[in-house]
Amino acid sequence: MTTHEGVGINVTVNGESRDAIIDVRETLVDFIRVDLGLTGTHVGCRTGDCGACTVTVDGEVVKSCLALGVSADKAEIRTIEGFAESSEHLSIIQTAFWEEFGFQCGYCLPGMLFCTEELLKKNPDPSEAEIREAIDGNLCRCTGYHGIIRAVRRAAEETSQAQREKDELRDEEVWARPGERVDRALRGRESES
């Protein structure tokens, strides 16, 4: 690919395919905010310090002020607008931030939420030190971080709880299948003897 400006790219943003003509001088955050109109991705520093412009590109959590928009051609992008599964309900992580006063102005939320999601994917039961490490690429000027730490803990607990409930439901489904029921009953008897 070679061009000075005005190059056609295609990206999938929050599940929706979008074609765009992009100036190669646009950073990814400018493309997302100006061209796509998704202003939930914020601009704080443009130097990679604050994390307010955080999005995911092909599943990787990154700071969009440090990338060129044109480099994201053919990529799958998720912004804060696509964080919850539906626009009607907040996700578990968002609810936890809401309940624990994990934000005030909300400017840092893209970084805080995506980093929390990334942390919980790899570590469902993080310690306070691990939480602090996971959010260390983000600056919050309102909360003093205490509410954020509590929110991530709460999100971890509620994610695990939701997972347990899902597992129990699946167990019940399995239980309902006649063949499985016999297996379970036999296994139960073996362990008793």
Contacts 24+ apart (CB under 8 A), 159-165: 159/92, 159/93, 159/120, 159/124, 160/124, 160/125, 162/92, 163/124
Cβ 1 to another protein, closest distance in Å? 5
From 20-28, 99-107, 146-154, 176-184, span contacting another protein (CB under 8 A): 20-28
Window 95-154: residues binding another protein (CB under 8 A): 111, 115, 118-119, 132-139
Q: What are phi and psi of 128, to 5 degrees?
A: -60, -40
Task: Reduce the DSSP state of residue 19 to 3 states and report it.
Answer: strand
In the shown chain, the binding pattern of residues 49 to 88 toward another protein, with x for contact by CB under 8 A and - for none, equals x-x--x-----xxxx-xxxx-xx-----------------
51/147 with CB nearer another protein: 51
Q: Which amino acid is at 77?
A: I
Place of tokens 């439901």: 169
Q: Using CB under 8 A, list all residues that contact another protein.
A: 1-5, 7, 23-27, 30, 46-49, 51, 54, 60-63, 65-68, 70-71, 111, 115, 118-119, 132-139
